[in-house]
A and B are shown apart, each in its own frame.
Chain A
Amino acid sequence: MGLLKKINALEPLWWSLFGLGGMIAAFILPVHLFLHGIAIPMGWVSPDLLSYERMMSVLSSPYGIIVKLFLFSIISFPLFHAAHRIRLTIEDLRIGWLNTIMPLISYGGAIVLSVITIVVLFYKLS
């Protein structure tokens, strides 16, 4: 229980990450999702944009580091955004048993996935 108390004491941090992620989700994800999830698969714009060869050449180009930082921020911060919102919604839905461990699951999940993102982007894809 001590751990949960510590997590709750970090509320300003979680809220700030929530805000940052929400901002990124609002400004960047609409166009990003539209392109990657709909327009490119539908063939409205060149499907080669996401080909293995092109992706690898972009990531290993001199601008690769910027692309990687961009990818990290549109993965990690939105995850923290979602973690915070889902946690509070579970509280509002009064799912009691889930409620108490939700901070651990949600923020813990966002942290783990962010670490994986860093490893993949900056270690495996380097």
Chain B
Amino acid sequence: MAEEIKITVTRYNPDKEAELKTQTFTIPYHNDWSILDGLNYIKAELDGTLTYRWSCRMAVCGSCGMMVNGTPRLTCSTYLNEFYPGEITIEPLANFPIIRDLVVDLTDFMDKLKEVKPWIIRKNKSDENDTSKEYIQTTAQMDKYYQQTLCINCTLCYAACPVYGLHPDFIGPAVIALGYRYNNDSRDQGKDERRKFLASEDGVWKCTVVGDCTEVCPKHVDPSAVIQRTKVDNATNWFFSFLKGKK
């Protein structure tokens, strides 16, 4: 008989239950199966009602993030062989409200993402529609923000961040990292506009540098470092505007 592996998943049906339940499935073990392959097997062969998000299967879309044995991971790029012959427990991403089974509500994240204005802002608004102008950028200038462009909005960092879990108003790692990405783009002029949000009471100052966001990031965006850099930047700005008598 072929080898098998046990997967325990969180079940929640808002129409029928008030509490979370777990259900354990035994599936065939394949060395080259990702956890997502395992979940797809369950849905196709064992229980069609299991609900979860996924799309690209190649760590680009950022929709299949779940808690794998307590750690936020992309299930498409986490393999069964990492755990075999042990068991695997899959839970919905921590710190977000659960909609059903393994699907969480990301509305809060999406609202905050909009708020940080993750696009290039020009002081002269007509620049934004003027396609005749070129904005040349050197590689050194691009290096300043390139790492943060890799963010795929998978929200693993939010699930890893106890500060977000404790204070849901906290802007959170990925959104600050994306603010940093545009603030450090030589073509952008929106730093002061974003500052109102990033340096607000629920902004960078809330971060206590636990550092887990950086550990779980599948794209090495390093949110924890850029949050601290944003603090340095905002503190410097604060002292300068204090000296100039603006405060």
Contact = CB atoms under 8 A, between A and B. Distances in A.
| Chain A contact residues, majority secondary structure | helix
Contact of A88 (B199, B208, B231, B237): B208
A58 interface: no
A2 to B, nearest CB: 15
A15 B237 CA distance: 13
Contacts of A15: 205, 231, 235
| Chain B contact residues, majority secondary structure | helix
Contacts of A11: 199, 201, 205
Interface stretch (B32-40, B100-108, B160-168): B160-168
Contact of B238 (A12, A19, A88): A12
Contacts, number: 28
A13 interface: yes
Contacts of B167: 91
Nearest to A85: B208
Interface of A: 8, 11-13, 15-16, 19, 88-89, 91-92, 94
Contact of B166 (A8, A12, A13, A94): A94
A12 B163 CA distance: 19
The 5 closest A-B pairs by CB, nearest first: A12-B238, A12-B235, A11-B205, A16-B235, A88-B208
